[in-house]
Amino acid sequence: MYKNIFVNQCGYLPGMRKHVTIRTDKPVSFTVLKSSGACVYTGRADRRVENASAGETDYVGDFSAVTESGFYYIVADGLGESDTFAVGEDTYADLFRKSMTFFYLQRCGYDIPESAAGCYGHKACHTQIGHAFQSSETRDVTGGWHDAGDYGRYVGPGAMAVAQLLYAAERNEVLCNSYQCPERDGFATGSPDASTAAVSDYLEELKYELDWMMKMQREDGALYHKATCHNFCSFIMPEDETEEMVLSPVSVTATGDFAAVCAMAVRFYRKYDENYARRLEEASRKAYEAMKGMELSGGFKNPKEITTGEYGDVCDTDERYWAAAELYNAFGDEQYRTDFETIAREKIYQGYGWSDMGSYGNLAYLNTERPTDDTLREAIRQAMLSLADKLINIAEADGYGTALTEKQYIWGSNLSVANNGLHLYDAWKLTGEQKYLDAAAAQLHYLLGRNCMGLCFVTGCGTNAIKHPHHRPSGFRGKAMPGMLSGGPCSWIADETIKSMFTKEAHPAPARCLVDMTGSYSTNEVTIYWNSALLQLLSSVTA
Ligand code: G3I
Ligand code: 9MR
Ligand code: ZN
């Protein structure tokens, strides 16, 4: 039956604000029932929202009063029922484990045993030597995580993913320490087998990407933008992509992001491995120096021979901003401080995307224990709060509490949703005002099912999840790898598959422009940095 009642299908922590969205044009009463059928709560959905993004009228109700652990569903007269959802302290354990395991399963250049990965196990892939583009230089660039549904490895997005996962660890140590590499606990069972490892499996996984990024650093400190074949391959397993491995030219964005994330990583790894922390520091400082000497007007552009993901970014000032703040925080040199403050006095950057690094810079500056400028701190704080207030207003005009306007359903809109959640969380940290935390959590609820498509955007989680993501191993095996966040609705109608169904002129409302079909890479692909955003948000709002 067509669904009209929408909630987070994974569920809620007992103390969370809980809203239900009902697609209807008049106020209605609703009942929350235990999965056994017993009625536990009756409420009224009486807040009307004309929802432009979804092209519908919604009524919103509140059932925060339901706090007892259990499984529930919601019914309303004549409007059917919602998906089943949980309330409980461990509601998100499964989501966390699956979405974190994704990184392990994306490992490149590594024999992934079937015992740990089921049908996604495979032999070490992309072991070929890397060739610098139009140069005779070759180097070993094995390792790291495949970026997405394709098998490319891109430095900027990789750095962003690691930074977000480090924030997740910082904010919710208990959750992140609970992660066990599937080689330890088995893919299917997840049996708890307490680890005594010095470094947590979680940090060990992040190190897999950091190690690879270090291989992408040239002797002069600059970073190759990416390691990919010339073109995307077809839907084959990764070890069958055996074409030449090309290192695309160095870029400011890759170099700056790498400098920043290595500096950040120092404080996490120092406790376990002094040597590794020193290597990170050296690599970071060296990349920073290289970045300072680099100019690349217009940003990185694919040479015409290379057609894999471009990750072009015309503005590299925010990467410089993030790097300066992060190196100042980690190493304390006055130069880094001056560099950051000089840019920030011109403009305060914000953003958690793969091309917008401002907010990472702001957090590094606001959270450092080193001397900072009070006036600048206050200006950054104000900018962050004013962004959060804008987001709150947008979220209130959306029946699902989503902080996106109808124009913002772009490629990777689910990343924007998660990142908006992070901005709202930041505002909560700055003010302690509950409304910001509630709004942040609402972004998570959207991703997990409280949306107009009634879809849980994370594969293998919730009752009605994405089943056909644009992801080569999933496509090849005919079964979606669990724990992957889909890119989400994109109203551009940008790939062949969605174009075969809609046109730019005639398509459903923006928030419905997703087709759960393997071919639809503009709406239904997955990436490491969409999962990392999900994990940073999850760790933040559940800490
Ligand atoms: O910068 C413009 C902005 O000025 C303009 O207003 C806006 C219009 O909505 O477009 C902005 O640029 C877009 C950019 O995303 C910002 O979100 C580009 O047109 C758009 O093409 C770009 O989409 C990116 C997509 O690659 C295509 O380049 C996605 O963010 C990015 O996540 C995605 O990344 C791909 C990799 O290339 C390959 N691997 C898979 C991965 C996920 O699909
Ligand atoms: O699979 C590719 C995906 O990872 C990218 O995000 C997307 C856009 O760059 O491109 C996909 O590859 C497609 C290619 O661009 C066009 N031919 C079909 C490919 C998908 O099978
Ligand atoms: Zn590989």
In whole angstroms, give the CA distance from residue 524 to residue 466. 8
Amino acid letter at 216? M
**Atom 4 in ligand 2: which residue has the minimum CA distance?**
150
% of the chain residues with pLDDT over 70? 97
pTM of the predicted structure, to 2 decimals? 0.97
Q: Is the CB of 300 under 6 A from ligand 1?
A: no
Res. 140: pLDDT tops 50: yes
Nearest to 419 by CA among 493, 357, 465, 490: 357
In whole angstroms, give the CA distance from residue 292 to residue 335. 11
**131 in Cβ contact with 245 (< 8 Å):** yes
Q: What is the pLDDT of residues 367-418, one digit of tens each?
A: 999 999 999 999 999 999 999 999 999 999 999 999 999 999 999 999 999 9
Q: What is the pLDDT of residues 170-201, one digit of tens each?
A: 999 999 999 999 998 655 444 444 444 457 89
Helix axes 413-431, 358-367, angle to 10 degrees: 20
144 Cα to the center of ligand 3, angstroms: 8
109 Cα to the center of ligand 3, angstroms: 5
Residue 184 is predicted with a pLDDT of: 85
Active site residue 374: no
Q: Is the CB of 148 under 6 A from ligand 1?
A: yes
Active site residue 516: yes
Q: What is the pLDDT of residues 388-401, one digit of tens each?
A: 999 999 999 999 99
Res. 295: pLDDT tops 50: yes
Q: What is the pLDDT of residues 213-242, one digit of tens each?
A: 999 999 999 999 999 999 999 999 999 999
Res. 42: pLDDT tops 60: yes
Tokens for 513?
Answer: 């422009």
Res. 522: pLDDT tops 60: yes
Classify residue 438 by burial, with Cβ atoms within 10 Å: 0-12, 13-18, 19+.
Answer: buried
Residue 189 is predicted with a pLDDT of: 40
Question: Residues with Cβ < 8 Å from 387, sequence gap 6 or more?
Answer: 350, 423, 427
Average pLDDT estimate for 9-16 = 98
Write out the E strands in 109-248. Answer: 130-132, 138-139, 153-154, 226-228, 245-247
Tokens for 503?
Answer: 């046109």
